[in-house]
Amino acid sequence: MSARQPWADPAQMQVRAAAPKDRRRVARFLAAMDRDGLYQRHFSHGEAPNLALLSRLDAVDQCQRVAVLAVASDDEVLGHAEYVVEHGAAEFALMVLPDQRARGIGTALLQALLDLATAGGERRMHGMIQASNTRALKLVLKTGFRVVPGDDATVVIVSRDLAPSRDAAPASAAHRYPFSLARHDPDRTPLHRRPGPGTPLRAGGG
């Protein structure tokens, strides 16, 4: 994540850690999201998924449960990304405002998650994406993820291994996203649940 890239210019957009104090900003962001974008992110309609996302801001520890925001120069939210860790694997999801897409924001958010997960010593990152979400699939493929079928034709699982070394990554990630890391998460909840009464996402190996 080079500071020479346009998204890293604070006058245009920057990626920073999310915190409970961002609740109103994130609520405005969710209100501005399009219906299709929300469904692609949550796999369901209605307010419950948005409320769950807002409640997770209070549980962020920036280690086992990480959330970052892409913000404009006025600190208004342009994009949101998060992951939650279990057994060394980080499950991620992200979304970007409809009028801000195709500007590198999704790439910046995903790279931030990758940097932070690597710095935290996680071994793998994975996520669940709707098979029809070609924009998201293009993003993950160019970022080194591989795609495998999900339980049905509507869903795919994307995953990639993270760098095993913990020597160089933590310093660079801490420089880019300064916040303290505290390994605790007494009430970890997955980001996705499969449609219907299914169980939390558990991606296959690798």
pLDDT by residue (tens digit) across 77-116?
Answer: 999 999 999 888 999 999 999 998 888 899 999 999 999 9
Please enumerate in sequence order all residues whose Cβ is within 8 A of that of 202, keeping only pairs 6 or more positions apart, or say none. Answer: none
Cα(70)–Cα(125) distance, rounded to whole angstroms?
Answer: 20
The helix or strand, by DSSP H or E, that contains position 82, with its residue range, turns out to be strand 77-86
168 phi/psi in degrees, rounded to 5 = -85, -30
Please enumerate in sequence order all residues whose Cβ is within 8 A of that of 38, keeping only pairs 6 or more positions apart, or say none. Answer: 30, 45, 49, 50, 95
Indicate whether 203 pLDDT > 50.
no
Residue 172 structure tokens: 């660079």
pLDDT digits (tens, 9 = 90+) for 105-155: 999 999 999 999 999 999 999 999 999 999 999 999 999 999 988 878 888
Confidence (pTM): 0.76
pLDDT digits (tens, 9 = 90+) for 34-59: 999 999 998 888 889 999 999 999 98
pLDDT digits (tens, 9 = 90+) for 56-80: 999 888 888 999 999 998 899 999 9
Where does the pLDDT of residue 162 fall: very low under 50, low under 70, confident under 90, or very high at 90 and above? very high
Residue 62 has a pLDDT of 84
Where does the pLDDT of residue 12 fall: very low under 50, low under 70, confident under 90, or very high at 90 and above? confident
Indicate whether 18 pLDDT > 90.
yes
Residue 196 has a pLDDT of 37
Go through the domains of the chain in sequence order and give each one's CATH number: 7-165 (3.40.630.30)
